[in-house]
Chains A and B, each alone.
Chain A
């Protein structure tokens, strides 16, 4: 880890603000999306912790992967992640992102998300309830405050590792121009 980012006082101030203001982009591939509306609206209201939904990847801080990723959607998730601005955090949501969950022997889903993207935090469960999601967000805030959520730096440093794994499932990417 390069410590030059961490050492400055200014970075601590930014971390302090970052912790209290998080824009979340939820990539709703699986069934997990259904747990997010109650988390955002009146019943559980995550905006009291300073977390709100973002409209586009450019504006977002958190990428929330809700549920399984097929190899087709993984490519889109990788594009989305690379469009986001540093500092950015990835949260895996549900057991599908941890070990494949109920899709563990499926031929076209990925089993383990952190082979392909640097996951900062997992929320276990199938599905995790809104309480669990809020608990996860609070844990992430603590990690940001302590400077432990360094997934985006890890992605840059171990770029080769992640790219190799991505290419293994996606094949060579032909970008349309």
Chain B
């Protein structure tokens, strides 16, 4: 019995990694086509990860190792609370807030790895990432509280079930302004282009992952892949009504991901203080207006 449960967890984790890498490959192809390039094949991230795990790697001490594992493990733990299609492991109330908390674990893991490596560029990168988190979490949390109020449930499965029965019940239609705000927050959550100051490759040499080479970089690439799946799946569950069929669910995830990628491929990036200021201005005002409309 316990073996079956473990297998279930393992299968979901592997599926998410494979799916995330596929999404990364599709994004690279899409960005290439918008820039009139041919671009790498869609399976390029798989090759990258395989190669990185075949390379040597040096460590900078125990904290460095622990941080990388904590970042990966934190993201995998988040994955188990997000339903994918009709597959979900937990449906108790409060999973939505739990997921928001767990997502921070991955960032804290990266911060630990940064401290372990002692590289100044990495410190700049992670401090930017945590500052930006202050920015996007405020409007995002306001929208989530609105959703919890309107659907009367604080579990992701509950919010998904409250939207069943045709697309007129989706939160996309019922909470349009909130959806827009949450999408802007999603760009920051995934580190997409207008809000990618934390990893800015041309200024701070890829930020938190400066000192990660070889196998560590492979691990963090897998972490990034899982994080893409977690965040797009969360967004689809909350605003696009989830799906009973896994294929429809993947299609919706792909749509959200492609939209984020296309926006990311045409915008330059905000400075980190500009990004935070932006989040605390327009998205926050939008979120508050939406909350007032829903409550009264």
Do residues B44 and A50 form an inter-chain contact, with CB atoms below 8 A? Answer: yes
Asked whether any CB of chain B lies closer than 8 Å to the CB of A20, the reply is yes
Contacts of B196 in A (CB 8 A): none
A–B Cβ pairs within 8 angstroms, 11 of them: A20-B47, A21-B48, A47-B32, A47-B37, A48-B41, A50-B47, A58-B214, A85-B56, A85-B214, A86-B56, A87-B56
Interface residues of B in 217-253 (CB under 8 A from A): 217
A86 to B32, CA, bound (A): 29
Asked whether any CB of chain A lies closer than 8 Å to the CB of B54, the reply is yes
Q: Chain B: interface secondary structure?
A: loop
Contacts of A13 in B (CB 8 A): 50, 54
Q: Which of A41, A45, A59, A61 contacts B212 (CB 8 A)?
A: A59
- Could you mark each residue 33-57 of chain A with 1 if its beta carbon is under 8 Å from any beta carbon of chain B, else 0? 0000000011001011110110111
Query: Told that A47-B32, A84-B213, A85-B213 touch, could you supply 14 new A-B pairs with CB distance under 8 A?
Result: A14-B51, A17-B47, A18-B51, A21-B48, A42-B36, A47-B40, A50-B40, A55-B206, A55-B210, A56-B206, A58-B211, A59-B206, A59-B209, A86-B55
Do residues A58 and B40 form an inter-chain contact, with CB atoms below 8 A? Answer: no
Do residues B55 and A87 form an inter-chain contact, with CB atoms below 8 A? Answer: yes
Task: Please list the residues of chain B having a beta carbon within 8 angstroms of any beta carbon in chain A.
Answer: 28, 32, 35-41, 44, 47-48, 50-51, 54-58, 201, 205-206, 209-214, 217
A53 to B205, CA, bound (A): 11
Do residues A42 and B55 form an inter-chain contact, with CB atoms below 8 A? Answer: no
For chain A, give the interface size range: 20 to 34
Q: Which of A45, A53, A56, A84 contacts B32 (CB 8 A)?
A: A45
Minimum Cβ distance to chain B for residue A156 (Å): 12
Contacts of B211 in A (CB 8 A): 56, 58
Minimum Cβ distance to chain A for residue B187 (Å): 22
Contacts of A42 in B (CB 8 A): 35-37
Q: In this complex, what residue of A is CB-closest to B28?
A: A47
A81 to B223, CA, bound (A): 28
Q: In this complex, what residue of A is CB-closest to B213?
A: A58
Q: A42-B36, A55-B205, A85-B55 are in contact. Are A21 and B212 (CB under 8 A)?
A: no
Do residues A55 and B201 form an inter-chain contact, with CB atoms below 8 A? Answer: yes
Contacts of B37 in A (CB 8 A): 41-42, 45, 47-48
Contacts of B212 in A (CB 8 A): 58-59
A10 to B32, CA, bound (A): 32
- Could you mark each residue 144-163 of chain A with 1 if its beta carbon is under 8 Å from any beta carbon of chain B, else 0? 00000000000000000000
- Could you mark each residue 53-96 of chain A with 1 if its beta carbon is under 8 Å from any beta carbon of chain B, else 0? 10111110100000000000000000000001111000000000
A-B pairs with the 9 shortest C-beta distances?
A: A58-B213, A14-B54, A55-B206, A17-B50, A55-B205, A45-B37, A17-B51, A86-B56, A21-B47
Q: In this complex, what residue of B is CB-closest to A53?
A: B201
A35 to B103, CA, bound (A): 42
